[in-house]
Amino acid sequence: MVRWGNNQKHSLEETMRHSQAGAASRLARTGAFALLLAAVAAVTSAVPAMAADYKAEYKLSTVVGEAFPWGFGGKRWAELVREKTDGRINVKMYPGAALVGGDQTKEFTALRQGSIDFAVGSTINWSPQVKELNLFALPFLMPDHKAIDALTKGEVGKDLFKLLATKDVVPLAWGENGFREVSNSKHAIRTPADLKGLKIRVVGSPLFVDTMTALGGNPAQMSWADAQPAMATKAVDGQENPLGIFAAAKLHTVSQTNLTLWGYVADPLIFVVNSKVWESWSEADRVAVREAAEQAAVEEIAMARKGLTAEDSSLIDQIKANGVEVVTLTEAEKQPFQEATKDVYAKWKKTVGEDLVNKAEAAISAR
pLDDT at 48 over 50: no
Task: Give the model confidence (pLDDT) of 148-180 as tens digits.
Answer: 999 999 999 999 999 999 999 999 999 999 999
Residue 132 has pLDDT above 50, yes or no: yes
DSSP-based helix, strand, coil % in the chain, nearest 5: 55, 15, 30
Q: What is the pLDDT of residue 304?
A: 97
Determine which of 16-20, 70-74, 361-365 has the lowest per-residue pLDDT on average: 16-20
Residue 22 has pLDDT above 90, yes or no: no
Model pLDDT for residues 288-308, shown as the tens digit of each residue: 999 999 999 999 999 999 999
pLDDT at position 360, please?
98
Domains in the chain: boundaries: 58-177+268-305, 181-265+308-365
Most confident of 1-10, 72-81, 221-230: 72-81
Per-residue pLDDT reduced to its tens digit, 336-353: 999 999 999 999 999 999
The predicted structure's pLDDT at residue 131: 97
Q: What is the pLDDT of residue 118?
A: 98
pLDDT of residue 150: 98
- End-to-end CA distance of the chain, in Å? 110
Give pTM, 2 decimals. Answer: 0.85
The pLDDT value given to residue 52: 54
Which strands form 218-221's sheet, in the order they lie side by side? Answer: 218-221, 199-202, 238-241, 181-184, 258-261, 325-328
Least confident range from 88-92, 131-135, 190-194, 221-225: namely 221-225
Binned at pLDDT 50, 70 and 90, residue 204 comes out as: confident
Nearest to 160 by CA among 147, 144, 173, 142: 173
**Residues 96-99: contacts with CB within 8 Å, 24+ apart?**
96/63, 96/64, 96/65, 96/225, 97/61, 97/62, 97/63, 97/223, 97/224, 97/225, 98/61, 99/59, 99/61
- With a cut of 90, say whether residue 50 has pLDDT above it: no
Asked if residue 142 lies in contact with residue 267, where contact means CB atoms within 8 angstroms, the answer is: no
Please give the Cα distance from 255 to 258 (Å, whole number). 8
3-class secondary-structure state, position 28: helix
Query: E strands, the chain, where?
Result: 58-61, 91-94, 118-122, 169-179, 181-184, 199-202, 218-221, 238-241, 258-261, 266-274, 325-328
Report the pLDDT value the prediction gives residue 36, as an integer from 0 to 100: 36
CB 137 within 8 Å of CB 207: yes
Strands in 56-142 per DSSP E: 58-61, 91-94, 118-122
Q: Which long-range contacts (CB under 8 A, 24 or more apart) does 133-136 make?
A: 133/160, 134/205, 134/207, 134/348, 134/351, 134/352, 135/160, 135/352, 135/356, 135/357, 135/360, 136/265, 136/266, 136/267, 136/268
CA–CA distance from 51 to each of 54, 75, 366 (Å)?
5, 21, 48
Ordered DSSP codes for 160-210? HHHHHTTTTEEEEEEEEEEE-EEEESS----SGGGGTT-EEEE-S-HHHHH
pLDDT band at 206 (very low <50, low <70, confident <90, very high): very high
Q: Is 18 exposed, middle or buried (0-12, 13-18, 19+ CB in 10 A)?
A: exposed
Rounded CA separation 171/358 (Å): 23
User: Which region holds residue 205: left if phi is over 0, alpha if psi is between -120 and 50, else beta?
Assistant: beta
Res. 26: pLDDT tops 60: no
Nearest one of 221, 205, 175, 208 to 60, comparing CA atoms: 175
Confidence band of 8 (pLDDT split at 50, 70, 90): very low
Q: Report whether 236 contacts 200 (CB < 8 A).
A: yes
- Cβ neighbourhood burial of 242 (10 Å; 0-12, 13-18, 19+): buried
Least reliable range by pLDDT among 13-17, 154-158, 223-227:
13-17
- The angle, 0 to 180 degrees and rounded to 10, between the axes of the packed helices 331-340 and 342-352 is 70
- Considering the domain 58-177+268-305 in this protein, what is its CATH number? 3.40.190.170
Q: What CATH superfamily classification does 181-265+308-365 receive?
A: Bacterial extracellular solute-binding protein, family 7 (3.40.190.170)
Please indicate whether the domains covering 58-177+268-305 and 181-265+308-365 agree at the CATH topology level: yes
- Asked if the model's pLDDT at residue 265 lies above 70, the reply is yes
pLDDT range class, residue 3, cuts 50, 70, 90 = very low
Q: Tell me how far the alpha carbon of residue 57 is from its chain's centroid.
A: 18
Express each pLDDT in 233-253 by its tens digit: 999 999 999 999 999 999 999
**Phi first, then psi: what are they for 297, rounded to 5°?**
-65, -45
